[in-house]
Amino acid sequence: MYEEVKSDVVKILKILEEKGLNYGRSGNVSVRIPNKGHVVITPSGFVKSSLSPKDALVIDMEGNVIDGEGLPTAEIQLHLGIYREYEYFNAAIHAHTIYSSALAVARESIPPIIEEAVLYVGGEVRVADYAPFGSRELAENVVKALRDRRAALLANHGVVACGKDLWEALEVLEVVERLAHIYVLSKALGRAFSIPREVVEFQKTVFLSKLKH
């Protein structure tokens, strides 16, 4: 089932590894199949960049495996929670990027320091409150932090980026990691200014008009 989608999931995992956006057994990826009630998701316990399409699982919205062998990622509740709440997201990437994770450990959100923060993400990249990985509480916290956004940091953990498809989610993830890098460097220089409030508000209107359509 959904062989092309499984292939894309594997491609994304390899791209994440190649670009230094994820490593080893960490991170997870999912794609919702619109109008089917199914989700293609990464399995638990694998080195992600070594997966082949046949390793990807298909689950229903209750988390039951309906195609494939093995267990879904421990973050299954995170992915399903996002899809239940936001019908306009059909893909989610959870990764352990360096700079985003550093800010997640510091529990410091990323302000709109450059325009891409608003145009791609929706504004400030919020930090979801801490909860143990794989927990329903973590899923609820992330869903809340994603309100009117395409990405959120997970306290002491990493980052999640969402989109209408996998490629948009990847683009958002790359933008967030770049934002985090710039923010950390600017703070090291002693100052980090956000773009003007009126610019943020105007660009956010543009972002929201596209987010749900």
Which amino acid is it at 58?
V
**d(C-alpha 58, C-alpha 72), whole Å:** 9
Active-site annotation holder among 75, 168, 174, 201: 75
**d(C-alpha 207, C-alpha 195), whole Å:** 16
Catalytic residue list contains 201 = no
Give the alpha-carbon dihedral of 53, 150, 138, 5, to 10 degrees: -10
Among 141, 171, 168, CA closest to 157: 141
User: Which residue has tokens 């995170």?
Assistant: 78
Q: Are 91 and 166 contacting, i.e. CB atoms less than 8 angstroms apart?
A: yes
DSSP string of 22-58, one letter each residue: --TT--EEEEEETTTTEEEEPBSSS-GGG--GGG-EE
Residues tagged active-site? 75
